[in-house]
Amino acid sequence: MKDIIFDHVLKAYGKNVVVKGLNLNICEGERLVLLGPSGCGKTTTLRMIAGLENITDGQLYMGGRIVNDIPSGKRNVSMVFQNYALFPHMTVEDNISYGLKVQKVDPREIEERSNAAISMLDLNGLEKRKPKELSGGQRQRVALARALVKRSDYFLLDEPLSNLDAQLRVHSRKELVKIHEMYHQTFVYVTHDQVEAMTMGHRIALMYDGILQTIDTPSNVYNRPANVYAARFIGAPSTNIIEANLNEGKLIMAGQHIVPPEVWIKKMKENGGDMFYFGIRPEHTKITTDYMDNALKGIVRYTEDYGNKVGVYFDINGKELISVCDNNVPATGERVYFVPDYSRIHLFDYKTENSIGYPEDLSKHNYGVVYELRGRLAGDRKFKAE
């Protein structure tokens, strides 16, 4: 088994604890993404797997044995560094084969493996160049080739795409997945980019402040966030989180109230307490300038054009929320009615900030149930700005 298990692992620099009692199980052959903002301990976690950081407390198991005191070179890991860490005085070829030479692999084997890596990563013709004569993308591929020739069981990547431009990043993302599908190493990928995490990971481990917030499939991390932090971190624009008070079947938020479907009220009552955090992604909301029943009323503060969609920031009694819409964009200063898709809302316990869970069948509780247009017709809208 080429799995990695963190058992209550703690890492501290003096009094500064950067990883706080991490329990994490990385399965053999899995692509796990460690995601989080800078300083959350994700790189430290990766470096502990590589053996580049000592473990202050707890146990780290790799392939079934404790590796706390096993030096980097004996852990059979390869790593791609954020700055690539290519040896500037060596040619591409020497950079790629250096590790194999140190390990005294048979020269014919070295040549064979290097050539395979060179042609797979499209580095033909660059063998004799020094790193400074390469472009960023080429350097990144040399770093990958150097990690690949080792054919190790564990493949660690520390933000390898962060120095590339956006187009190249998308391309490299696919390449990395393709490479992993070929070798099926245990793949641990550190990034702060949620798009990379969502597209590459079999599972995402979201970290914040040295604590593992959630670990789940990309789909679950997005659709069923485990806590307020996960809901906020994943998705752009960020999830709306509002304090909500459950009172006689109504949810009171920012001085207004809405009536959620019965299934949600039941779920909230099961959880206990009457204070919650109500979460809804901007893309799962509707706003209109026409009057709607059971909606929150707000004033549009400003809009952001994303090209394909428009983000609308509006204000409900001092609380800023955001919604995205693709047509009928309200103007700044206009009054809007805001309705969430009740099959996509999230409710979190007020104290623990953890999800209270989801009712069994939500599919029929989308906008349709509570969506009642009254009074004016859709074409009757008047912009205040005009």
Question: CB neighbours of 132 closer than 8 A, spacing ≥ 6?
Answer: 88
Kindly state the smallest distance separating residue 202's Cβ from another protein, in Å.
Answer: 24
Kindly state the smallest distance separating residue 96's Cβ from another protein, in Å.
Answer: 11
Contact 87, 166 (CB under 8 A): no
Kindly state the smallest distance separating residue 102's Cβ from another protein, in Å.
Answer: 5
Both tokens assigned to 88 = 């500037």
Q: Give one DSSP letter per residue of 262-287, joined into a string.
A: HHHHHHHHHH--SEEEEEE-GGGEEE
Residue 52 lies near another protein (rule: CB under 8 A): yes
Kindly state the smallest distance separating residue 22's Cβ from another protein, in Å.
Answer: 21
Kindly state the smallest distance separating residue 109's Cβ from another protein, in Å.
Answer: 15
Q: Total number of residues binding another protein (CB under 8 A)?
A: 27
| DSSP three-state, residue 382 | coil
Residues 264-283 that bind another protein (CB under 8 A): none
Cα–Cα distance, 143 to 302 (Å, whole number):
44
Q: For another protein, which is the closer residue by CB, 101 or 266?
A: 101
Q: For another protein, which is the closer residue by CB, 86 or 258?
A: 86
Q: Give one DSSP letter per residue of 165-192, joined into a string.
A: -HHHHHHHHHHHHHHHHHH--EEEEEES
| DSSP three-state, residue 17 | strand
Q: For another protein, which is the closer residue by CB, 186 or 213?
A: 186
Q: For another protein, which is the closer residue by CB, 141 or 365?
A: 141
Contact 215, 205 (CB under 8 A): yes
The two beta strands, 346-349 and 335-340, are: unpaired
Kindly state the smallest distance separating residue 60's Cβ from another protein, in Å.
Answer: 16
Q: For another protein, which is the closer residue by CB, 142 or 241?
A: 142
Contact 6, 23 (CB under 8 A): yes
Residues 66-105 that bind another protein (CB under 8 A): 71-74, 77-79, 81-89, 98-99, 102-103
Of 15, 65, 108, 132, which lies in the binding site for another protein, with binding defined by CB under 8 A? 132
Q: For another protein, which is the closer residue by CB, 89 or 351?
A: 89
If residue 240 lies in a helix (H) or strand (E), which one and from where to where?
strand 240-247
Sign of CA dihedral 102, 105, 107, 109: negative
Instruction: List residues bridging with 337 in a β-sheet.
Output: 288, 297
Neighbours of 374 (CB within 10 A): 8
Residue 289 lies near another protein (rule: CB under 8 A): no
Of 150, 169, 281, 346, which lies in the binding site for another protein, with binding defined by CB under 8 A? 150
| Amino acid making up residue 344 | R
Kindly state the smallest distance separating residue 10's Cβ from another protein, in Å.
Answer: 19
Cα–Cα distance, 305 to 275 (Å, whole number):
34
Stretch that binds another protein, among 3-11, 49-57, 225-233, 352-360 (CB under 8 A): 49-57
Kindly state the smallest distance separating residue 78's Cβ from another protein, in Å.
Answer: 7
If residue 250 lies in a helix (H) or strand (E), which one and from where to where?
strand 250-253
Q: For another protein, which is the closer residue by CB, 72 or 162?
A: 72
For another protein, the binding residues (CB under 8 A) are 50-52, 71-74, 77-79, 81-89, 98-99, 102-103, 131-132, 146, 150
